[in-house]
Amino acid sequence: MLASVETCFVFTFRAVVEASKFDFLSLEVSGSGTVDRKDGATRFIDIVLRARLALPKGADPERAKRMLDKGKNACLVTASLSVPVRLESEIVVESP
């Protein structure tokens, strides 16, 4: 399940940056979830995606943050889940 969320986010983010003609150096994504047992069923109650995005020098970190958010929100998997999906992002700009 978490792998599907991570993969969808990465593919959607890549589509967003390609359409926006935005360059990045690398993207690392990991996911974790909290489960709870209720009414005899074990279910996710929270999913967190952690993204580390490396940008070339001169890139706009605020624009990158908006694209990461758009990637999460436009992802078909995250949009289809009834559980909240949070994105914790770290954006690193290459030093001169």
pLDDT of residue 84: 93
- pLDDT tens digits along 15-50: 999 999 999 999 999 999 999 998 889 999 999 999
d(CA 13, CA 15) in angstroms, rounded, equals: 5
The whole-number pLDDT of residue 55 equals: 98
Predicted TM-score (pTM) of the model is 0.90
Question: What is the reported pLDDT for 1?
Answer: 80
Portion of the chain with pLDDT greater than 90, in percent: 92
- Percent of the chain having pLDDT more than 70? 99
List the structure tokens of 34: 């909290």
- What is the rounded distance in angstroms from the CA atom of residue 91 to the CA atom of residue 80? 27
DSSP 3-state percent helix, strand, coil across the chain (nearest 5): 40, 40, 20
